[in-house]
Amino acid sequence: MSLVDKRGRLFGLLNVLDLLMVLLVALVVAAAYVKLSPVHRPAPHTLLPENCVWADVVLRMPGEYAWMAEITAPGMLRRDPRSGEVDAEITGEQVLENGDLAVSLRMLAAKDAQGRLVADGQALLPGRYMRIITENCVLSGMVYRVSLAEGPAP
Amino acid sequence: MSVWADSRFRQWAQSANDGSAFLAWWQRGAGAARIFENAFGYRFVQRKIHFLLPLAVAVAVGLAVLFGPWILLPLGLIAAMSYLWPRAGLAALPAAYLWSPEFALAGVGNELAFLRIDHALVLGLLAHLCRRAAFRDTGLYVPLFLFLAASVTSALLGLLRGYVATPEYALMYCVQLLYLAAGFVCAYSLGHRLPRAVPYAWALAMVAFAAYGIAETRFPLEVAEGLRYRSYERGFFDRQANHAAYALVLGGLTGLGMLAHSRWRGLGLALVLLCLAGLWGTGSREGVAALAAGLAAMLLLRLPALLWAAPLVFVLLCMALPAGFWDALLRPDGSFFDRILHWKAALATVDQHPVLGLGLGARHRRFYDSQYIMLLAETGLAGLLFFSWWVAALARALWHGARAPGASVFAAAAFCALVALCVQSLACVGFVVTMMAGPCYWLAGVSLARQRELP
């Protein structure tokens, strides 16, 4: 039996277009569920003190945000609104050769069950879009590099 | 004595490939799979045509909530024009694709949610095809829909597993793939209705696009001291030089194809000259590689016997390049070096979920800058295999279409454009970018529609 028959049915069971529509509806439902769930739903373990670590993160912002270099400065902080503790700090910045702005941050993260670093309810993976609201400015860009920071755990 | 015909290499290549399953598949015609007319969902809409009205109201309410109610006016007007005069809608589509970042009705092309003129045009065309039951089926839809199904499944699983942290990304990429595919379906279903308008619609859009680039090169919007200025980077276009370069390559290739037809010779020459001048202004290495691939494909179409020697020539050319070329390409502070680092990071995750990947939308497309690495990492082997099947099936149909007697004026260019897009997508996500995949699919759909039947 061929994968898709002359009537467009996958293994003779379900039309490929129907399958696509069913999957699309399922995706929209799943996306709405994830979006409408509480913000920190996937990462309650990030709050456990034994999992907390400091991570060095380089956030890369496109060239049109290079003017932010005049505003950002090492020492700018973000505080956890619940505890008032500092959970992120700008440690450096650099305008790259292609005009992009790279901002270095030290931020509070946690290791999840798979050993990945998690912060703000999402895994810290290179390429992920991230938005950091400090007390002085808002940084929006992509995670460029991630590493465990040296020094004692918080 | 023919050196080529009598060469041992050619004889070996032919004998080695005589029993090749791929070769047999390539030479066989596309099977006719009646997907649309047998789909339950499509037949349901056809039987209950009034079902379209509540569907349209639901879409309108959703868009009004997302973008504000005023958006319905321009969207409705353009979609209605496209619905009532589908030829005009289809003819306007190439220009809308090329200027898509700027012809935004809401948002801009780099935001998560945006709505543009080309969206409205395709929406109207789809409604027309649905209302008139005018979808044309082809065997090409089998790999296309399987690829889309694999992509949507991977996004769904990625969301449930938690790899896709931003649901909007998953939805955006899936909708973008579906939208581009819809453009191909519309062009294939309606393209036969545009026999004479196709060259004009295409050429005028390309000429205007190239003229903008030439003007911007001559009169830069900004002047950066000590740096070479690249057009299509600022102002109207936000960092689109590489994407625009592919569109200009596409224009140049179609111009070359038109040169072979006496009726279109003048327009073809203008296209070639303007698009090459525009391409120079972009300073895009990817664009030059795409142009070289497109020209090589054109040569292969003329001399198909060279197909056997193509891999050997490619290897020899790579070996003939000076060492300085590779050093310059792999400079640690260059963008290509960054790409290699990202590719290694992306490939490191493949063994975790090899079948369906992390899920479409797990990372931003700019992280990969390679269509194939992105598909392998995010949609897994299933997505990449179905995608390869779709591209190969389309290339096969275009190859046969270009070599058939009485082929359309753009048939050869459509095949070359697809080859160029495949090559440029090694270093960018070309099959997701509207400015690149949109015109390529439009050209392919219209060219195939002009054939009486698929070979």
Each residue's pLDDT, cut to its tens digit, for chain B (455 residues) gives 566 667 776 677 667 666 677 777 777 766 677 888 888 888 888 787 777 777 788 888 888 887 888 888 888 899 999 999 999 999 999 999 998 766 677 765 556 677 888 999 999 999 999 888 888 888 899 899 999 999 999 999 998 888 887 888 888 899 999 999 999 999 999 988 887 788 899 999 999 999 999 998 888 776 666 666 788 887 778 788 999 999 999 999 999 999 988 888 999 999 999 999 999 999 898 899 999 999 999 998 888 877 777 778 878 887 887 777 777 777 766 777 778 888 888 888 888 889 999 999 888 877 888 999 999 999 999 999 999 999 999 999 999 888 887 777 888 999 999 999 999 999 889 999 999 999 999 999 999 987 644 33
Residue A138's pLDDT is 86
Helix%, strand%, coil% for chain A, nearest 5? 25, 40, 40
Tokens representing B321 are 């390049």
Q: Are B184 and B445 in contact (CB under 8 A)?
A: yes
Residue B32 makes CB contacts below 8 A (sequence gap 6+) with A6, B137, B138, B139, B454
Q: Of A4, A23, A26, which is closest to B142 when you measure between CB atoms?
A: A4
What are the phi and psi torsion angles at B159 (to 5°)? Answer: -65, -45
The pTM of the full predicted model, rounded to 2 decimals, is 0.78
Cα–Cα distance for residue pair A59/A63, rounded to 1 Å: 13
Closest residue on chain B to A29 (Cα): B156
**Using the beta-carbon criterion (under 8 Å), do B34 and A6 form an inter-chain contact?**
yes
Tokens 């972009």 sit at which residue?
Answer: B282
8-state DSSP, B186? H
Query: In this predicted complex, what is the ipTM?
Result: 0.79
Q: Of A8, A35, A126, which is closest to B167 when you measure between CB atoms?
A: A35
Cα–Cα distance for residue pair A19/A33, rounded to 1 Å: 21
Residue B263 makes CB contacts below 8 A (sequence gap 6+) with none
Q: Of B33, B159, B238, which is closest to A31 when you measure between CB atoms?
A: B159
**Using the beta-carbon criterion (under 8 Å), do A35 and B168 form an inter-chain contact?**
yes
CA atoms within 13 A on the CB side of B154: 32
Residue among B144, B151, B252 nearest B202 (CA): B252
Closest residue on chain A to B148 (Cα): A20
What are the phi and psi torsion angles at A119 (to 5°)? Answer: -145, 145
**Using the beta-carbon criterion (under 8 Å), do A8 and B33 form an inter-chain contact?**
yes
Residue B1's pLDDT is 54
Cα–Cα distance for residue pair B362/B47, rounded to 1 Å: 39
Cα–Cα distance for residue pair B201/B188, rounded to 1 Å: 16
Q: Are B337 and B331 in contact (CB under 8 A)?
A: yes
> Looking at beta carbons, which residues of chain B come within 8 Å of A31?
159, 167-168, 170-171
Best A20, A120, A146 residue to mutate vs chain B (most B CBs within 10 Å)? A20
Q: Is B409 helix (H, G, I), strand (E, B) or coil?
A: coil
**Using the beta-carbon criterion (under 8 Å), do B363 and A127 form an inter-chain contact?**
yes
Q: Are A1 and B135 in contact (CB under 8 A)?
A: no
